[in-house]
Amino acid sequence: MPSSSLPSYDRALQLLKETGCSDGLIRHVEAVSKYAVEVAESLADADVALVQIGGLLHDIGRCKTHGIEHGIVGGKLLRSLGVDERVASIAEKHVGAGITEEEAVRLHLPPGNYIPETLEEKIVAAADNLIEGTQRITIDEAEADFHAKLNGNPAAIRIRNLHDEVFGSAKRSVPATRAKQRL
């Protein structure tokens, strides 16, 4: 499906507002989208437009719930709104570095594999992990946050692996390691 079938930036913002997302959440997703675009532009094969809109809409599920299921809720919501399937999949698979089928069972989520697979899914998830609110944090800070929340769970270890895969393949340096950069 071509990028032209994606909602425009303004339409994506309108969808967030119509869904009842807070101004704070909108500032967060704009920061994630901007960072994800910087990463995508550093990579030869990434669909920058898809990453931009996927970044904007990845957390639309948070307008309904802040639980771990917000990614899946967001994906379902985006499909119901007729948004490009690739964007719905980005939302569904962005939580941490994704959720395995086994973890989904344990977490009582709808059965499925929610691990990011496409380059664009990986970029948005990796960028989101490095944005706290609207601030850029380092992978060390992000990893420490996840370990504190998940207590050494493999899901936290995957955060760094995903980061290294995405940022390690960036052609030029993206300011991923600038601690607490204010946007």
Binding site for Fe ion (CB under 5 A): 59, 128
Q: How far is the CB of 32 from Fe ion (least distance, A)?
A: 5
Closest distance to Fe ion from the beta carbon of 70 (Å): 9
CB of 28 to Fe ion, least distance (A): 6
- In whole angstroms, give the CA distance from residue 12 to residue 174: 25
Q: Considering beta carbons, is residue 59 or 92 the nearer one to Fe ion?
A: 59
Closer by beta carbon to Fe ion, 2 or else 26: 26
Q: Quickly list H helices, the chain.
A: 9-18, 23-41, 48-57, 70-80, 85-92, 101-106, 119-129, 139-150, 154-168
Residue 47 or 59: the one with the smaller Cβ distance to Fe ion is 59
* Minimum gap (Å) between residue 4 Cβ and Fe ion: 26
Nearer to Fe ion, 47 or 128 (CB): 128
Output the CA torsion 172→175→176→180 (10° steps): 180
**Residues 6 or more apart whose Cβ sits within 8 Å of residue 13:** 26, 56
Q: At 12, list the tokens.
A: 């994506």
